[in-house]
Structure 1
Amino acid sequence: MTEPGYTLFETAIGLCAIAWGEAGIIGAQLPEGDAARSRARLARRFPDAREAPPPPAVSRAIAEIVALIAGEPRDLHAIQLDMAGVPDFHQKVYQVARAILPGETLTYGEVAKRIGEPGASQAVGQALGKNPFPIIIPCHRVLAAGGKTGGFSANGGVETKFRLLTIERARTSAEPTLFDGDSAFGFAAPPRQKSRSG
């Protein structure tokens, strides 16, 4: 990677952005409504970065992100992130969140337990709210207890979060859905066993 740069790119949910530096990706951004707003936010977040054609590693990352948002299963672990300046607690939270596969979810409490800090659900939520790498670190896959959405700091808020979860065919609660048993959906449940009395 070279000097700090950024680029905007189209996805199934709108115009996203990615910024890079010498040590890897320094940030990602979900749609802000239009290109002007996206560029303005990028300028605030990364004042040293200039809009530029992405280097090959960033182009590959963009292709993977576009495919994931289009509903294709993708594992974004190979994308190199520059975590310089990210607090240690946040890095632990992001490591757990990054391990959640498309179509799966965890609660804030489950993430807190996995980092060895049960009871830190609120701090987990705050860390995810400051996630500089949305989609690459899939904070949208972390929900509040009972399948409630929790917050989402991206433009569009919870609506954007649910849109991403719907694209990934994620189950957001244990309640049965109209699609249980339909093999076209990733959360298809096995057929129910008949009771012995019936």
Structure 2
Amino acid sequence: METTIFQTALGAFGIGWTDTGIARLQLPGLGPDELTVQINRDGGVPGVPSRAVQLLINQIEDYADGAAVSFEQTRLDLTAVPSFHRAAYQALLACGWGQTTTYGALAKTLGGAALSRAVGQAMGANPIPLIIPCHRVLASNGKAGGYSAPGGALSKLRMLALEGVSVGAPVGQMGFGF
């Protein structure tokens, strides 16, 4: 896997890709050294983005600037991901900009509400957050629930606010710095 780090209005992102597609995305919130370690873990090496990867980076920069961006055409490499997780991510890809769903609703599309915890585990293990929009998955009570990216649930709320979704506190009370 090749990787690169790039700056946005939200902070530094890391991205990893293979010949198959995007395999990893690291959201802002880590220091430069930790970001480098995280994006290059498991054998990732710095590379030069292809045209397709550079176009995706441009989309992520637009997202960070507040533009409504769709990543649905992005080629993904999920070969190292368990099959249930892949199914959960595929179901989640239908949840577009400014929309939310719940762990339970995703679980029902995958076979039943009893799979809610498994959906939560899949979201927590998401290797490509933002592109696979796990930040759009809420708890059944409409609250943020957890988030495994740097900054935890606060980062999730900030991303949702950027998309015009208010969860809990009014949007004006949340900053956008990761």
In the alignment, the residues of structure 2 paired with residue 20 and residue 119 of structure 1 have an alpha-carbon distance, to the nearest angstrom, of 34
Following superposition of structure 1 onto structure 2, how do residues 114-125 of structure 1 map, counting pairs within 5 Å? 114-125=109-120
The total of aligned residue pairs comes to: 172
Higher relative contact order (CA 8 A, sep 6+): 2
Q: Who is 1:6 aligned against?
A: 3
Give the corresponding residue for 1:27: 24
Using the alignment, how far apart are the partners of 1:167 and 1:59 within structure 2? 22
Question: CA deviation digits over 1:117-140, x for unaligned, max 9?
Answer: 322111101100000000100000
In the alignment, structure 1 residue 160 sits paired with structure 2 residue 155:
yes
Q: What's the TM-score once normalised by structure 1's chain length? A: 0.81
C-alpha distance in 2, partners of 1:151/1:54?
32
Question: What is the 5 A alignment of 1:92-171?
Answer: 92-171=87-166
Q: Which amino acid aligns with 2:59?
A: E
Native 8 Å contact 2:98 2:160 kept in 1: yes
Query: Which structure 1 residue ranges, 4+ long, deviate > 6 Å from structure 2?
Result: none
Distance in 2 (alpha carbons) for counterparts of 1:32 and 1:165: 16
Deviates more, 1:34-43 or 1:154-163: 34-43
Unaligned runs of 5+ in 1: 180-198
Shift of 1:178: 9.2
Q: Provide the residue aligned with 1:37 in structure 2.
A: 34
SS in 2 for 1:122: helix
Question: Who wins on radius of gyration, i.e. which is larger?
Answer: 1
Matches of 1:73 and 1:43 in 2, distance apart? 29
CA distance in 2, matches of 1:31, 1:69: 10
Deviation at 1:15, TM superposition (A): 0.5
In the alignment, residue 103 of structure 1 is paired with which amino acid? G
Q: Which runs of 5+ in 2 are unaligned?
A: 173-178
What is the DSSP-based 3-state SS (H/G/I as helix, E as strand, rest coil) of the residue aligned with 1:9?
strand
Give RMSD over aligned pairs: 1.9
Whole-angstrom distance in 1 between the partners of 2:139 and 2:90:
18
Q: Does 1:81 align with 2:76?
A: yes
Letter in 2 for 1:141: R
